[in-house]
DNA sequence: AAAAGATTCCCATTAAATGAGAATTTTGTA
DNA sequence: TACAAAATTCTCATTTAATGGGAATCTTTT
């Protein structure tokens, strides 16, 4: 195993399977000599990416919290979320969640969220949790904003199997892109409606989506215009904020 | 440059200096060939630890949010914070912040926090932000819980220069350990009082502290007993929760 | 104090990282 | 669209580090 994967494959174990591993288990799981695993783990511990606990077990280390803290201060989307999402759910005037999401490999990840205090409808989108890219208004808005070639790559990797589905999804995405809005119902989470707006900044290379997620029972055509207008205006605010933050960064 | 440092040194740049770097800047800063830096950065981008933005710049990538999400679900201390800190600040009945902190290399890091809705007094302790280990009730409670040998190591690295200071600090820490409580005023943040309780779990190898931080003007002897009793009881709750969570983890 | 378990050390072998420059791709601009 | 400049990748000979097996050491438990 070569390069960064040597470390990343170990770290991924702690996310995807169990949160606690012994060096011997790692060696069994990944294949390779115990002494090699011990050496590699020791390096990760020294850097704070892992830490040793009891009974020869290791878990993820505090360095990730430091990097996350750094991103909270510097990442354009993460910062935008901290600034705009709270007020967005308030303005929505209905029990809901707001989600700011982006592409993460072949999946979509929420990078910021907010919930009205009385929210009951769960959403699978949680900050930092990778989600499939084909389902939900949130994901489709991101897909719609993608350059055609990248979208085709994604389809090749995780997309619809048969050509008809692929064709119809492509059509759907074109419409979403044209309107700037994506709406789905119960596609990812049963009983939930999602409304999403594209959030893009060409010059910053950002392609994201801003969503409101609420219970189907709380949603009807009467509140649709307000929610859509809120999404559109807040998406614009976020785009502008990122643009300004970027300019301020260049010559402060 | 060898081993994980090859990657870690690059990642650290994004925390400690600027949040955005070009490959060429990295090569200048760390020394080494551009082609090497490009290759290494490419690996980090592939793993989501960095991402490329515009104008040949790179920034921290979304993988950190995924690892942070994983820790939120699995790390004993982080989970404890999410469960107990909100109610703690409510019960305090005074404008304040609650901080759960731990050792991070030669520094102390807050891993969870909560603030009463009306909080005005700032604290330097922020989730994921490394802080010096010699100042504040929060840090001293952690120091006090450390095994003697580890404490001496720390003192050698960042501790008081002259022997008298070192001696008196050691005495202070012994008292803190005996009482289970550390109280300081204005040591780290001007105008703030900190009250901290040790949070330990021998069998889990955890040594942390739970603190309440409030404005000096809001603090007097009349509320001290309530705050201390709250801290002590919540510290105990957290220790028990971690113990139980650990047991549940072993045979669920 | 002994035993079992965990971790580090050692070192010959194998494999990967490095750097310089050329080649290619991407981006910005006319 | 084409050109120029910048960014990134590629190539390959050389240098350096990773690997694995087993012995040695350190830790924990009994």
Tell me the DSSP string of A10-50. Answer: HHHHHHHT-S-EEHHHHHHHH-S-HHHHHHHHHHHHHTTSE
Please check whether residue B24 touches A, CB under 8 A. no
pLDDT at B105 > cutoff 80 = yes
What is the C-alpha separation between A241 and B217, in angstroms, rounded?
Answer: 37
For residues A160-165, average pLDDT:
86
Residue (of B72, B100, B63, B26) closest to A75 by Cα position: B63
Backbone angles phi, psi at A78, to 5 degrees: -60, -45
Contact A69 B43 (CB under 8 A): no
Q: Looking at the predicted structure, is the pLDDT value of residue A50 above 60?
A: yes
Of A5, A65, A129, the CB nearest to B111: A65
CA angle B128, B203, A44 (to 5 degrees): 45
pLDDT score of A252: 33
pLDDT at A250 over 80: no
Mean pLDDT for the stretch of residues B233-250: 85
Determine contact, residues A206/A242, Cβ cutoff 8 Å: yes
Report chain D positions within 7 A of protein CB atoms.
6-11, 16-23, 29
The CATH architecture assigned to A5-62 reads Orthogonal Bundle (1.10)
Any chain B CB within 8 A of the CB of A250? no
Task: Determine the topology of domain B5-65 in CATH.
Answer: Arc Repressor Mutant, subunit A (1.10.10)
In order of A15, A48, A157, B53, B66, the CA distances from B69 in angstroms are: 9, 16, 25, 23, 5
| CB contact set of A154 (below 8 Å; sequence gap of 6+) | A106, A133, A143, A146
Q: What is the pLDDT of residue A159?
A: 78
Q: Report CB contact under 8 Å: B128, A72.
A: yes
Q: Which residues contact A22 (CB under 8 A, 6 or more apart)?
A: A55, A56, A57, A58
Q: How far is the CA of A92 from the C1' of C13 (A)?
A: 66
What is the pLDDT, as a whole number, of residue A248?
Answer: 67
Cβ neighbours of residue A131 under 8 Å, at least 6 residues apart? A101, A107, A108, A109, A110, A124, A125, A138, A139, A188
Contact (CB<8Å) A19/B70: yes
Does A75 contact chain B (CB < 8 Å)? yes
- Enclosing H/E stretch for B200: strand B192-201
pLDDT of A251 > 50? The answer is no
Residue partners of B192: CB distance under 8 A and separation at least 6: B121, B122, B123, B185, B186, B213, B214, B215, B216
pLDDT more than 90, % of chain A: 81
pLDDT in tens, A91-138: 999 999 999 999 999 999 999 999 999 898 999 999 999 999 999 999
pLDDT at A151: 87
Whether A75-250 and A5-62 are alike in CATH topology: the answer is: no
The candidate with the shortest Cα–Cα distance to A27, out of A1, A54, A66, is A1
SS3 call for B4: coil
pLDDT, tens only, B144-190: 999 888 888 888 888 788 889 999 999 999 999 999 999 999 999 99
Q: Concatenated DSSP letters for B26-88?
A: HHHHH-S-HHHHHHHHHHHHHTTSEEE-STTEEEE-THHHHHHHHHHHH-HHHHHHHHHHHHH
Which residues of chain A are within 8 Å of residue B78 when distances are taken between CB atoms? 65
pLDDT in tens, B55-100: 899 999 999 999 999 999 999 999 999 999 999 999 999 999 999 9
User: What's the pLDDT score for residue A127?
Assistant: 98
Over range A144-149, report the average pLDDT: 87
B180 with B198: CB under 8 angstroms? yes
- Alpha-carbon distance values, B196 to A190, B158, B179, B249 (Å): 45, 22, 11, 29
SS (HEC) of A60-88: ECCHHHHHHHHHHHHCHHHHHHHHHHHHH
Please name the nucleotide lying closest to B41, CA to C1': D8
Predicted local distance difference test score (pLDDT) of residue A249: 61
Q: How far apart are CA A171 and CA A175, in angstroms?
A: 6
Question: Could you say which residues 14-53 of protein chain B have a Cβ atom less than 7 A away from any atom in strand D?
Answer: 22-24, 34-35, 38-39, 41-42, 52
A225-229: long-range contacts, CB 8 A cutoff, minimum separation 24: A226/A92, A226/A93, A227/A92, A227/A94, A227/A195, A228/A181, A228/A195, A228/A197
Decide if pLDDT at A72 tops 80. yes
Mean pLDDT of A71-88: 96
- Of residues B43, B68, B249, nearest to A64 (C-beta): B68
Domain ranges of chain A: 5-62, 75-250
Cβ atoms within 10 Å, residue A5: 13
Q: List chain C nucleotides near protein: any atom < 7 Å from a Cβ.
A: 5-10, 15-22, 27-28
CATH architecture of B75-250: 2-Layer Sandwich (3.30)
Would you call A17 exposed, middle or buried from its count of C-beta atoms within 10 A (0-12, 13-18, 19+)?
A: exposed
Give CA–CA dist B169/B180, Å, rounded.
Answer: 16
CB B211 within 8 A of CB B112: no
Mean pLDDT over each residue of chain B, to the nearest integer: 93
Interchain contact, A4 vs B44, CB within 8 Å: yes
Per residue in B210-232, pLDDT (tens digit) is: 999 999 999 999 999 999 999 99
At B248 the pLDDT is 67
Token pair belonging to A182: 């994506």
Rounded CA-CA distance B108/A62 in Å is 10
Q: Of B224 and A205, which is predicted with more confidence? A: B224
Mean pLDDT confidence for B130-139: 96
- For B6-56, write each residue's pLDDT tens digit: 999 999 999 988 999 999 999 999 999 999 999 999 999 999 999 999 889
Which residue of chain B comes nearest to A129, CA vs CA?
B66
CB atoms A104 and B48 under 8 Å: yes
DSSP string, B165-184: HHHHHHHHHHHHHHHTEEEE
Residue B251 above 80 pLDDT? no
**Percent of chain A beyond pLDDT 70?**
98
Mean pLDDT of chain A: 93
What is the arrangement of strands in the sheet containing B57-60, beginning at the earlier edge strand? B21-22, B57-60, B50-52
Q: Which of A54, A64, A73 sits opposite B64 (nearest CB)?
A: A64
Distance set, CA B24 to CA B14, B36, B40 (Å): 14, 10, 12
* d(CA A59, nearest CA chain B) in Å: 8
Q: What is the pLDDT of residue B177?
A: 93
Closest by alpha carbon to B198, among B151, B236, B153? B236
């Amino acid at each position: 195993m070569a390069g960064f994967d040597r470390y990343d494959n170990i770290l991924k174990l702690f996310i995807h399977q169990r949160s606690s591993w012994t060096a011997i288990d790692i060696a069994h799981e990944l294949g390779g000599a115990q002494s090699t695993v011990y050496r590699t783990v020791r390096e990760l511990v020294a850097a704070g990416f892992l830490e040793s606990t009891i009974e020869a077990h290791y878990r993820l280390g505090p360095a990730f919290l430091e990097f996350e803290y750094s991103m909270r201060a510097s990442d354009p989307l993460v910062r935008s979320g901290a600034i705009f999402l709270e007020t967005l759910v308030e303005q929505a005037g209905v029990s809901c969640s707001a989600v700011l999401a982006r592409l993460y490999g072949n999946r979509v990840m929420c990078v910021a969220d907010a919930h009205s205090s009385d929210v009951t409808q769960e959403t699978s989108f949680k900050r930092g949790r990778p989600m499939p890219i084909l389902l939900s208004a949130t994901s489709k808005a991101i897909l719609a904003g993608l350059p055609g070639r990248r979208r085709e790559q994604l389809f090749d990797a995780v997309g619809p199997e048969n050509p008809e589905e692929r064709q119809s999804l492509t059509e759907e995405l074109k419409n979403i892109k044209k309107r700037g809005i994506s709406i789905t119902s119960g596609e990812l989470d049963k009983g939930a409606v999602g409304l999403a707006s594209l959030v893009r900044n060409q010059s910053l290379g950002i392609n994201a989506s801003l969503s409101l997620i609420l219970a189907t029972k709380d949603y009807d055509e009467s509140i649709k215009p307000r929610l859509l207008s809120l999404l559109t205006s807040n998406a614009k605010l976020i785009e502008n904020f990122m643009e300004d933050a970027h300019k301020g960064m260049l010559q402060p």
